[in-house]
């Protein structure tokens, strides 16, 4: 009887392995958590896109939950996700934009054409802040809590469903 039970072990191992691999099929290989989760928003000193004279640093994020969106005029997906960002602004979320690896003219033209849901747009032409944030492609979105700590990271396109199902709950969680 004991020997009979031993014979079932290979079958069990096979089922476990098949289950594991089947789960792997539906995972997104490019999805991973940001290394900055639960860390302070990195230090920076950048001017505003609209106003080159105005300079900002990380104290911009103290006191209020803020959604930071990294965008660029050269990024087609950023254009597609603007309606969702405008929607988030309408829902009362404070948004700060990072105009990543762009020129002032193109960045401003982008906001004129697609709307401006951002309270402030940080101008990051060399991608310095983007590098500190571990950004490897726009759009990327970070949720920063009232203490300036990064709490949530979204890579790529924000769908209308993401707004209601993921981002709004995260915003409320940290408010």
Partner 1 sequence: MAIRRLGLPAFSRHGTATLRVSFVFSILFSLALSLLAGLAANQAQAAVEVRDFDSPVTAERYRSLTDGLRCPKCENQAIGDSDSPVAKDMRERVAALLREGRSDREIQDFMVARFGDYVLYNPRLEDRTLLLWGLPAALVLLGGVLVALIVRRRRRASARALSAEERARLDALVNRHSDASGDH
Q: Which residues sit at the interface with partner 1, rule CB under 8 A? A: 29-30, 32-36, 101, 127, 131-137
Q: Which is nearer to partner 1, 100 or 114 (CB)?
A: 100
* 3-class state of residue 144 by DSSP: strand
Q: Which residue has the tokens 């979320």?
A: 93
Length in residues, the chain: 175
State how beta strands 46-47 and 94-100 pair.
unpaired
Q: Which is nearer to partner 1, 65 or 135 (CB)?
A: 135
**Cβ at position 118, least distance to partner 1 in Å:** 23
Q: Which is nearer to partner 1, 14 or 136 (CB)?
A: 136
**Cβ at position 134, least distance to partner 1 in Å:** 4
Residue 123 contacts residue 106 (beta carbons within 8 Å): no
**Cβ at position 58, least distance to partner 1 in Å:** 15
**Cβ at position 64, least distance to partner 1 in Å:** 25
Omega cis (within 30) before 139: yes
Q: Which is nearer to partner 1, 94 or 151 (CB)?
A: 151
């Amino acid at each position: 009887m004991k020997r009979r039970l031993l014979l079932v072990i290979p079958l069990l191992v096979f089922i476990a392995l098949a289950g594991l691999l089947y789960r792997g099929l539906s995972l997104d290989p490019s999805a991973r958590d940001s290394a900055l989760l639960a860390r302070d928003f990195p230090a920076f000193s950048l001017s505003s896109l609209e106003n080159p004279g105005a300079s900002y640093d990380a104290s911009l994020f103290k006191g209020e939950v803020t959604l930071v969106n990294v965008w660029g005029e050269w990024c087609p997906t950023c254009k597609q996700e603007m309606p969702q960002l405008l929607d988030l602004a309408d829902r009362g979320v404070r948004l700060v934009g990072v105009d990543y690896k762009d020129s002032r003219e193109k960045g401003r033209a982008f906001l004129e054409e697609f709307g401006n849901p951002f309270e402030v747009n940080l101008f990051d032409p060399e991608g310095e802040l983007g590098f500190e944030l571990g950004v490897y492609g726009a759009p990327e979105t970070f949720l920063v809590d009232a203490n300036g700590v990064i709490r949530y990271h979204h890579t790529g396109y924000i769908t209308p469903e993401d707004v209601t199902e993921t981002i709004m709950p995260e915003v409320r969680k940290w408010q």
